[in-house]
């Protein structure tokens, strides 16, 4: 289901895991390879369009296809559009800020960042905001296929340095939707959040 206003949020139920990121960071691609769907997450890329929180049911299954953990994946609208009108940025702050601040069932947020440009100002604002709550944080450095080995190590070290002062609830990893790298690591982190 999709929600355009805080008043329309579904009643809190299963644990929720939110995905956030700058527009074009690779969030939709990450969600799609994680969930093995072709077009589960489709970003509306046009600045000015209604921003929505999209809710998807999520379950982790073992080798015997038995469900071992259930939750809800929440695809948050992207941020960081330089040309976005002020009204849209304010709507993002109200909707996403309100959701993150008040949702009791929100257990963790995956911050999707382009590994070539992690920790941009919009990311930092979100991270600072989330760090004030007890919510877990995972920095997903995607498009890692665009970096060489040295650059990959540097990007991961930077994200880990950012995570360290937040504590054990903040983690970081490299990811590539294109090369399908890092999917197991991401699934493992999220399953841990759902079980805790």
Q: Which stretches of the chain bind ligand GDP, using CB under 6 A? A: 21, 23-29, 43, 78, 142-143, 145-146, 176-178
Q: Which one, 24 or 160, has the nearer CB to ligand GDP? A: 24
In the block, tokens 């046009």 appear at 46
- Residue 19 CB, shortest distance to ligand GDP, in Å, is 9
Among 135, 137, 147, 73, which residue's Cα sits nearest to residue 111?
Answer: 137
- Coil, strand or helix at 137: strand
- Residue 83 CB, shortest distance to ligand GDP, in Å, is 15
Answer yes or no: are the C-beta atoms of 163 and 131 closer than 8 Å: no
Q: Which one, 115 or 189, has the nearer CB to ligand GDP? A: 115
- Residue 66 CB, shortest distance to ligand GDP, in Å, is 30
- DSSP characters over 111-124: EEEETTS-S-HHHH
Cα dihedral across residues 119, 162, 158, 115: positive or negative: negative
Q: Which one, 16 or 114, has the nearer CB to ligand GDP? A: 114
Taking residue 108's Cβ as centre, other Cβ atoms within 10 Å add up to: 23
Q: Which one, 103 or 143, has the nearer CB to ligand GDP? A: 143
- Residue 28 CB, shortest distance to ligand GDP, in Å, is 3
């Amino acid at each position: 289901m999709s929600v355009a206003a805080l008043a329309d949020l579904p009643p809190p139920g299963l644990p929720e895991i939110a995905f956030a990121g700058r527009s074009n960071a690779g969030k939709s691609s990450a969600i799609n390879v994680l969930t093995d769907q072709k077009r589960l997450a489709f970003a509306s890329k046009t600045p000015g369009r209604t921003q929505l929180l999209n809710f998807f049911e999520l379950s982790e299954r073992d080798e015997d296809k038995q469900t071992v953990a259930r939750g809800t994946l929440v695809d948050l609208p992207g941020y960081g559009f330089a040309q976005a009108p002020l009204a849209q940025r304010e709507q993002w702050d109200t909707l996403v800020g309100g959701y993150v601040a008040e949702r009791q069932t929100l257990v963790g947020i995956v911050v999707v960042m382009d590994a070539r440009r992690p920790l941009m100002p919009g990311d930092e604002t979100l991270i600072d905001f989330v760090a004030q709550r007890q919510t877990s944080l995972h920095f997903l450095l995607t498009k890692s296929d665009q970096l060489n080995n040295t650059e990959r190590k540097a990007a991961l070290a930077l994200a880990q340095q950012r995570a360290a002062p937040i504590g054990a609830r903040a983690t970081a990893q490299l990811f590539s939707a294109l090369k399908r790298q890092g999917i197991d690591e991401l699934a493992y982190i999220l399953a841990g959040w759902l079980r805790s």
